[in-house]
Chains A and B, each alone.
Chain A
Amino acid sequence: EAGVAQSPRYKIIEKRQSVAFWCNPISGHATLYWYQQILGQGPKLLIQFQNNGVVDDSQLPKDRFSAERLKGVDSTLKIQPAKLEDSAVYLCASSPSGGDTQYFGPGTRLTVL
């Protein structure tokens, strides 16, 4: 069974530029999560989708971050414009509907200069 796929794996941008990350969850997993992991910290939830609907985006900085999950499968997370403090690893995870365990992709390491 294929795991969670993410791309790109690495991205370097200048501050005020925009960037987008893509995630393809495990087939059949209804719930999809985006996390931000800053160096030395644990993953922090940004947004949670159930199929193509948003369950929780309370921790998403909506003035610059946006996310969508069209057709309830793939998802895209966008940052526009990026700030220095957005430098982090962005992790995507998925779980079956009602499942307790989340399965993570390899992450995208973003560096904002």
Chain B
Amino acid sequence: DQQVKQNSPSLSVQEGRISILNCDYTNSMFDYFLWYKKYPAEGPTFLISISSIKDKNEDGRFTVFLNKSAKHLSLHIVPSQPGDSAVYFCAAGRISSGSARQLTFGSGTQLTVLP
């Protein structure tokens, strides 16, 4: 049962254009969402997050949008740069026990930014 889905395994965009990565979730208990970026042979690196009480969070070139009614979030990268080429994982968080949080990850989207 995949609770977090990234339906596009890959995405290619031209340098300078917008990259839009999508993620859908099914569990209404998720209250916090994150995007991680992963380069080959490295661990995932935290990129940006959003709480379920917001619908948008922006950090430089990166913006995350959350549509709770549709259980959908997206990551926008503007403008895209070749260094953004990586695998992007969407993760959804909820409280598991006491104050401890757990994350459920999507399967990732390989972004390639073409020079």
Q: Which residues in A have some Cβ–Cβ distance to B below 8 Å?
A: 4, 6, 31, 40-45, 48, 50, 55-56, 91, 93, 95, 97-107, 109
Cβ contacts under 8 Å, B108 to chain A: 41-42
User: Are A42 and B107 interface neighbours, CB within 8 A?
Assistant: yes
Convert B6-37 into 0s and 1s, putting 1 for each residue whose CB lies closer than 8 angstroms to a CB of A: 10000000000000000000000000101010
B69 within 8 A of A: no
Please, how many angstroms separate the alpha-carbon atoms of A99 and B101 in the complex? Answer: 7
Chain B: interface secondary structure?
A: strand
* Interface size, chain B (Cβ < 8 Å): 28
Cβ contacts under 8 Å, B102 to chain A: 45, 48, 56
Q: Which residues in B have some Cβ–Cβ distance to A below 8 Å?
A: 4, 6, 32, 34, 36, 41-46, 49, 89, 91, 93, 96-108
Please, how many angstroms separate the alpha-carbon atoms of A6 and B4 in the complex? Answer: 27
Give the contacting residue for B43; candidates A31, A56, A100, A107; CB below 8 A: A107
